[in-house]
């Protein structure tokens, strides 16, 4: 039901619910959309008060006044509506039909090719359909330049100044007013408005233009608006698109009506190539196509679609070599300077051959094209959730993209499209290009959805729902940035990040900078990273550009290069006029427009930080603070250099520093990357040197720690362990010593008991430890003597002794000592071990005598040392020999070892005999026992004595060469340990003669230096001494050292010397 604009609200308050319901209907017709929600809530309060019989007079007058003010505002806008006229365009012929569809449907899909006029005429049709009065007609464009130029065009057609009835808003400019009826804007602007006004109450109509591009913003807006339309029945949505998959848009909005408008196009002939063309042949095929065009004398420019800049350079070289007549070759790709891009729009003579990426597919319309050569390939940005890398692989384009390319040559006359692939290949291709939402990281979208509280992204009505793996990956990135919890809930950090109009990674950097005093620098850096790089490299002046850019380059950090560049140009901007500054930018191969964008975004971020109450630093921040802040947003994009050039990154990714980076000549050990991009190789873009130690604190929520090799550290009294820290699989800390007790108290307690108390690590003052170790040492020495392991109880007995007594909370020396002192007040012997608890079985006196602690020879007791450890150099029994006594040792006596080992040695010797001899002495142990009852240790060869005794017993003579004493295990030979005068070990051998020969000079010197030696003399020239004794005995402490005097001839004189051998003397 339509109400006239003169509908007046009565002065007297309503007296019935029906009257209030009538006024509610008025709201949806007469008041501004921005006021409707507030006024509607007022009516609900009035209705409740009326039901309760309350006096509503005052509240009614207040509500009526506000409603009438809104009515007047709407009426004022209605009177100012511009007169609509339509130019001669295909869409103008369908204006009445479209107007009727808009009036009768909440959603309308309008499909039309370039040139149909849909972009400029649909907003005007909306005005004629009664839209734009109660609220704005919002009209989104994917690009800023389109928003501005379309606004200018519509304003011109409506004969209104720009900024009045028609305005526009882009990232850095707002050219709208309170009188605006149509508002052009980028889709990003509309998204940002949702944060402040989730019902979009300023608008009564939304036009989503170029919807076929299916950008992330467009898909999110379409999903959001689908839900919003249910809540706002008054809101109209018009979706405009090229004739690409329009049915999908229609079905998404409950089979919304579709209007298809033809464009101004001419017939296009498509010529397919034959078999598959390989990479090396593609440039030649392009040359062949151009020659075909020339030979047929067809006029018109040629647009060649290639996959990337490198392919454009290679094709350009091939075309120049082909020497095509009257052909001007012009490159076209996104990174070209504006001046270079503008060349394609300037008049020219001859034929122009434009070598372009897919930027000419939809973003730019190249004039005068009659021929298209389509290689059928393009670089497509794809995000890999497995490697976390934004890839740019070259892929076959879809059928829809191929048709878009072909349509570029049918704008001015009949055209020809050469497809360098077969018709079968075309038919097998995907009908449409994958929308951006299924091939990009979703962290920013998820963060916005969490902020707007619009539910789970998995349930959100996207036209093409993204893969769950991409959704999970988006959540993981937000968790990495600490914007969400592990359960997916937004954190306080996340709420702050939403308030910053940049990518979540950059927002996290800014937040960290506000904490560590580097905010001034990070606002500059992040705003610079958020725009297209201002540095330009014209194709014909690349070397000069690189030289100019080098003045700001930092060899440690590309982020510092950005900062240096900003500071340099800010100084120039303040010193120069706008015109001079623009010229200076050009002279330095820097885009003046992008520098302005950089400054605008910097200002925007500065303002956002002020609203969040972030404080900027007044003094310059140091390298560490700046790069710690940057690192907080790039924790998953670090790497360690493995060889000269290649880096190993997180998740086992391998990459190289980008050749244009300041770090490329001499890469540091550790770096972070602003992004990782995969083309022919995987490259780190915007890299910087970092200290790996920064990661421990910044990535503490992500680092996985593992501990190994726990040990007791005697000096600190703590159980320590080696810690390994990994970040997404990359080792960032290896072998760091950490206190293990707080990490794993139960395990640390076990190590403390074992290594500090059971073993010899204890350094406290308790007497128990020395006592307990003494008991263990005594029993171990007995086991070594008797070559058995059944005397001392297992170490677990000692361990359990302590384990049963120590509280479970004790795992280090300080806590142990505190507990011990208190406990020993009541029981001083609490920790003392009893020998009976350690010994498994006792030994008789006879058994102990078999393994004496020393051997006596000529009244001197040589100490013995036992060891039961097969394979050890001292395994068996060792004789400790003072160096001065070495020469007095008998040759064979010690081959007899000690009584307890002699029987086993004799058995081994007999078993080592040849079989034909050994069989006469079976069983061997019985014969050995018989022999040993008759003989004992003596200074004769043990094999000679055994042979003699066995001859007597059996009559069998054993040849001396049949014995094989050298074939016995080493422990069957006495080990001689030679000690100097201070008791230090100076030599060791199983062969006595070898040791005596080795230390012969040392023995002689030792004899000469004996203090009681009065017999030795030198330089004797006459017989002035008594007869020399046969031997002398010289005391040395508890030892009696024997020596034999002798005369040595020195030609001119003789000397009396002491010799260590009577035969040599």
Helix (H) or strand (E) holding 218: helix 216-231
Architecture of domain 268-434: 3-Layer(aba) Sandwich (3.40)
Q: Is the CB of residue 142 less than 8 Å from the CB of residue 221? A: no
Six-digit token pair at 815?
């806590």
At 622 the pLDDT is 96
Main-chain dihedrals φ then ψ at residue 1025, nearest 5 degrees = -135, 160
Stronger pLDDT, 769 or 885, i.e. the higher one: 769
The structure tokens listed for 702 are 């992500």
Is the confidence at residue 1, as pLDDT, over 60? no
Tokens 């995000």 -> residue: 383
CB 943 within 8 A of CB 894: no
Is 464 exposed, middle or buried (CB count within 10 Å of its CB: 0-12, 13-18, 19+)? middle
Do 820 and 828 contact (CB within 8 A), yes or no? no
What tokens does 347 get? 């008049």
> In the predicted model, what is the mean pLDDT of residues 1058-1063?
66
Residue 5 has pLDDT above 60, yes or no: no
pLDDT of 743 over the 70 cut: yes
pLDDT score of 1011 more than 80: no
Question: DSSP label at 614?
Answer: P
Whole-angstrom Cα distance, residue 67 to residue 60? 10
For the chain, the average pLDDT equals 88
Nearest in space to 621 (alpha carbons), one of 557, 701, 698: 557
**pLDDT score of 857:** 83
Strand segments, DSSP code E, in 250-350 are 258-261, 268-272, 301-305, 327-332
Q: Are 521 and 592 a contacting pair, CB within 8 Å?
A: no
Contact by Cβ (8 Å): 728, 636: yes
Nearest to residue 894, comparing CAs of 855, 853, 847, 949? 855
Q: How far apart are CA 400 and CA 392, in angstroms?
A: 20
DSSP 692: T
Question: 466-503 burial string, b = 16+ CB within 10 Å, else e?
Answer: beeebbebbbbbbbbbbbbeeeeebbebbebbbebbbb
- Contact at 8 Å (CB) between 353 and 399? no
What is the per-residue pLDDT for 648? Answer: 95
Confidence of residue 209 (pLDDT cuts 50, 70, 90): very high
Query: What is the side-by-side strand order in the sheet with 876-882?
Result: 854-857, 860-867, 876-882, 975-979, 985-989
Short-list 284, 282, 302, CA closest to 377: 282
Rg, Å, the chain Cα set: 49
Residue 139 and residue 143: Cα distance in Å, rounded? 12
* Prior bond of 921 cis (ω within 30°): no
pLDDT at 3 over 60: no
pLDDT at 361: 73
* Average pLDDT for 10-34: 83
- Tokens found for residue 1047: 């005369």
For residues 196-210, give the mean pLDDT: 94
The DSSP code for 5 is T
Residues in the chain: 1065
Q: How far apart are the C-alpha atoms of 799 and 820, rounded to whole Å?
A: 16
Report residue 849 as tokens.
Answer: 């005598």
Write the DSSP symbol of residue 481.
Answer: T
Q: What is the pLDDT of residue 9?
A: 82
pLDDT (mean) for 40-49:
89
CB 134 within 8 A of CB 213: no
Tokens read off for 352:
């122009």
Segment (H or E) for 374: strand 369-374
In CATH, the number for domain 90-261 is 3.40.50.300
Strands (E), 499-597: none
Q: Cβ distance 332 to 360 under 8 Å?
A: yes
Quote the distance between the C-alpha of residue 983 and its chain's center: 59
Backbone CA torsion sign across 182, 184, 190, 196 = negative
pLDDT in tens, 950-971: 999 998 999 999 999 988 999 9
Provide φ and ψ at 1022, rounded to 5°.
-145, 160
Statement: residue 670 has pLDDT above 90? yes
Q: Which of 72-81, 156-165, 1032-1041 has the lowest mean pLDDT?
A: 1032-1041
Which pLDDT does position 387 carry in this prediction?
65
Place of tokens 């050009």: 586
pLDDT digits (tens, 9 = 90+) for 286-331: 999 999 888 886 788 999 999 888 888 889 999 988 888 888 899 8
Return the pLDDT at 62. 93
Cα–Cα distances in angstroms (integers) from residue 742 to residues 720, 721, 736, 739, 747, in the given order? 10, 11, 15, 7, 10
What is the distance between the alpha carbons of residues 937 and 895, in angstroms, rounded to a whole number?
8
Question: Which pLDDT band holds residue 1062 (cuts at 50, 70, 90)?
Answer: low
Answer yes or no: is pLDDT of 40 > 90.
no
- Residue 405, phi then psi, degrees to nearest 5: -65, -45
- 762 near 756, Cβ under 8 Å? yes
- Both tokens assigned to 545: 């550009």
Distances (CA, A) of 362 to 114, 123, 753, 778: 9, 21, 75, 92
Backbone angles phi and psi of 893, in degrees to 5: -55, -40
Distance of alpha carbon 515 from alpha carbon 505, whole angstroms: 16
Q: What is the pLDDT of residues 473-517, one digit of tens each?
A: 999 999 999 999 999 999 999 999 998 988 999 999 999 999 999
Strands 107-112 and 327-332: unpaired
334-371 b/e with 16+ CB inside 10 Å = b?
eebbeebbeebeeeeeebbbbbbbbbbbbeeebebbbb
Q: Is the pLDDT of residue 1005 over 70?
A: no
Cβ atoms of 883 and 894 within 8 Å: the answer is no
pLDDT tens by residue, 823-843: 999 999 999 988 877 776 666
Residue 518 has a pLDDT of: 97
pLDDT at residue 845 is higher than 80: no
pLDDT for residue 1003 = 66
* Lowest-confidence region among 112-121, 414-423, 863-872, 1013-1022: 1013-1022
Q: What angle do CA 345, 351, 355 make, to 5 degrees?
A: 65
Between the alpha carbon of residue 460 and those of residues 227, 228, 454, the distances in Å are 9, 12, 8
- Mean pLDDT along residues 607-631: 95
Q: Where are the alpha helices (DSSP H) in 649-715?
A: 694-698
Per the DSSP assignment, residues forming a β-bridge with 720 are 711, 739
Q: Which of 869, 871, 945, 962 is nearest to 911 (CA)?
A: 962
Higher-scoring residue by pLDDT: 274, 377: 377
DSSP 626: H
Cα(first)–Cα(last) distance of the chain, in Å?
143
3-state SS assignment for residue 379: strand
- Distance from CA of residue 85 to its chain's centroid? 59
What pLDDT does residue 306 have? 92
976: Cβ contacts below 8 Å, ≥ 6 apart: 878, 879, 881, 889, 894, 988, 989, 990, 991, 992, 995
pLDDT at 337: 66
Residues 6 or more apart in contact with residue 368 via CB below 8 angstroms: 300, 301, 352, 412
Backbone angles phi, psi at 682, to 5 degrees: -95, 120
Task: Return the H-helix or E-strand segment holding 545.
Answer: helix 542-549
Residue 908's contacts (CB-CB under 8 Å, 6 or more residues apart) are 968, 969, 972
């Amino acid at each position: 039901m339509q109400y006239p604009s003169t509908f007046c609200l009565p002065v007297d308050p309503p007296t019935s619910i029906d009257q209030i319901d009538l006024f509610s209907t008025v709201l949806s017709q007469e008041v501004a959309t921005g006021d409707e929600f507030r006024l509607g809530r007022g009516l609900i309060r009035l209705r409740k008060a009326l039901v309760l019989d309350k006096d509503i007079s005052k509240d009614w007058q207040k509500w009526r006044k506000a409603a009438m003010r809104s009515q007047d505002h709407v009426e004022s806008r209605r009177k100012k509506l511009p007169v609509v006229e339509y130019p001669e365009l295909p869409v103008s012929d369908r204006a009445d039909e479209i107007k009727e569809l808009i009036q009768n449907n909440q959603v309308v899909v309008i499909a039309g090719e370039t040139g149909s006029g849909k972009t400029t005429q649909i907003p005007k049709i909306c005005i004629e359909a009664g839209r734009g009065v109660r609220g704005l007609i919002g009209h989104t464009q994917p690009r800023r330049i389109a928003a501005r130029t379309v606004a200018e065009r519509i304003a011109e057609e409506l004969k209104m100044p720009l900024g009045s009835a028609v305005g526009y808003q882009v990232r850095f400019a707002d050219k709208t007013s309170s009188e605006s009826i149509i508002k052009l804007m980028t889709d990003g602007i509309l998204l940002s408005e949702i944060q402040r006004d989730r019902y979009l109450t300023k608008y009564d109509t939304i036009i989503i233009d170029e919807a076929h591009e299916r950008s992330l913003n467009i898909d999110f807006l379409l999903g959001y608006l689908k839900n919003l339309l249910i809540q706002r029945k008054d809101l109209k949505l018009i979706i405009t698109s090229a004739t690409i998959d329009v049915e999908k848009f229609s079905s998404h909005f409950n089979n919304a009506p579709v209007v298809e408008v033809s464009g101004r196009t001419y017939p296009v002939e498509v010529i397919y190539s034959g078999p598959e063309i390989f990479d090396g042949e593609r440039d030649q095929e392009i040359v062949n196509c151009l020659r075909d065009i020339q030979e047929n004398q067809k006029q018109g420019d040629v647009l060649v679609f290639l996959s990337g800049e490198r392919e454009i350079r290679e094709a350009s070289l091939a075309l120049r070599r082909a020497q095509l007549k009257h052909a001007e070759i012009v490159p076209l790709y996104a990174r070209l300077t504006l001046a270079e891009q503008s060349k394609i729009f300037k008049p020219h003579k001859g034929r122009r051959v434009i070598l372009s990426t897919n930027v000419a597919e939809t973003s730019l319309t190249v004039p005068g094209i009659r021929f298209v050569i389509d290689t059928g390939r393009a670089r497509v940005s794809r995000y890999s959730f497995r490697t976390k890398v934004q890839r740019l692989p070259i892929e076959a384009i879809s059928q829809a993209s191929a048709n878009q390319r072909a349509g570029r040559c049918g704008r001015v006359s009949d055209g020809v499209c050469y497809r360098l692939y077969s018709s079968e290949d075309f038919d097998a291709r995907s009908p449409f290009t994958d929308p951006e939402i299924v091939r990009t990281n979703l962290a920013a979208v998820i963060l916005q959805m969490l902020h707007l509280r619009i539910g789970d992204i998995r349930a959100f009505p996207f036209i093409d729902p993204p893969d769950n793996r991409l959704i999970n990956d988006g959540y993981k990135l937000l968790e990495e940035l600490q914007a969400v919890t592990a359960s997916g809930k937004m954190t306080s950090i996340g709420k702050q990040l939403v308030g910053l109009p940049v990518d979540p990674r950059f927002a996290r950097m800014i937040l960290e900078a506000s904490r560590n005093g580097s905010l001034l620098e990070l606002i500059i850096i992040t705003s610079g990273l958020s725009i297209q790089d201002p540095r330009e490299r014209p194709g014909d002046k690349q070397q000069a550009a690189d030289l100019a850019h080098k003045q700001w380059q930092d060899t440690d950090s590309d982020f510092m290069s950005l900062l240096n560049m900003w500071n340099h140009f800010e100084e120039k901007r303040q010193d120069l006029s706008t015109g001079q500054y623009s010229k200076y930018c050009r002279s330095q191969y820097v885009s003046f427009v992008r520098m302005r964008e950089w400054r605008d975004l910097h200002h925007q971020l500065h303002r956002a930080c002020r609203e969040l109450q972030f404080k900027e630093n007044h003094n310059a921040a140091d390298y560490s603070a700046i790069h710690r802040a940057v690192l907080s947003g790039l924790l998953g994009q670090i790497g360690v250099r493995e060889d000269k050039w290649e880096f190993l990154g997180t998740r086992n990714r391998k990459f190289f520093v980008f050749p244009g980076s300041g770090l490329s000549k001499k890469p540091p050990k550790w770096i972070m990357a602003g992004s990782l991009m995969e083309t022919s190789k995987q490259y780190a873009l915007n890299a910087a040197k970092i200290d790996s130690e920064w990661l421990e604190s910044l990535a503490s929520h992500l680092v996985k720690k593992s501990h190994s090799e726990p040990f007791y550290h005697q000096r600190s009294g703590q159980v320590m362990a080696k810690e390994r820290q990994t970040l997404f699989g990359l080792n960032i800390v290896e072998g760091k010593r950490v206190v293990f007790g707080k990490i794993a108290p139960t395990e640390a307690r076990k190590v403390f008991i074992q290594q500090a108390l059971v073993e010899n690590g204890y350094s406290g003052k308790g007497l128990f430890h020395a006592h307990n170790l003494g008991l263990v040492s005594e029993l171990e020495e007995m086991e070594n003597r008797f070559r058995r392991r059944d005397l001392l109880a297992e170490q677990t007995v000692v361990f359990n002794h302590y384990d049963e007594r120590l509280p479970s909370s004790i795992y280090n020396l300080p806590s142990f000592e505190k507990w011990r002192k208190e406990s020993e007040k009541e029981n001083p012997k609490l920790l003392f071990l009893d020998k009976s608890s350690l010994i498994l079985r006792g030994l008789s006196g006879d058994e102990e005598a078999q393994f004496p602690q020393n051997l006596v020879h000529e009244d001197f007791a040589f100490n013995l040392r036992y060891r039961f450890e097969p394979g050890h150099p001292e395994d068996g029994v060792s004789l400790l020999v003072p160096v001065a006594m070495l020469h007095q040792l008998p040759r064979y006596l010690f081959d007899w070892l000690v009584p307890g080992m002699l029987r086993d040695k004799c058995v081994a010797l007999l078993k080592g005999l040849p079989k034909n001899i050994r069989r006469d002495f079976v069983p061997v142990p019985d014969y050995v026992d018989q022999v040993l009852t008759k003989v004992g240790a003596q200074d004769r060869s043990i094999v000679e004595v055994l042979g003699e005794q066995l001859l007597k017993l059996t009559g069998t003579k054993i040849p001396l060469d049949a014995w094989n004493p050298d074939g016995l295990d080493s422990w069957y030979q006495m080990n001689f340990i030679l000690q100097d005068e201070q008791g230090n070990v100076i030599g060791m051998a199983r062969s006595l003669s070898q040791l005596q020969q080795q230390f012969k000079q040392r023995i002689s010197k030792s004899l000469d230096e004996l203090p009681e030696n009065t017999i030795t003399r030198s330089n004797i020239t006459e017989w002035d001494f008594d007869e020399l004794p046969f031997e002398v005995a010289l005391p040395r402490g508890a030892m009696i050292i024997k020596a034999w005097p002798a005369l040595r001839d020195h030609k001119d004189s003789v000397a009396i010397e002491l010799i260590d051998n009577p035969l040599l003397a």
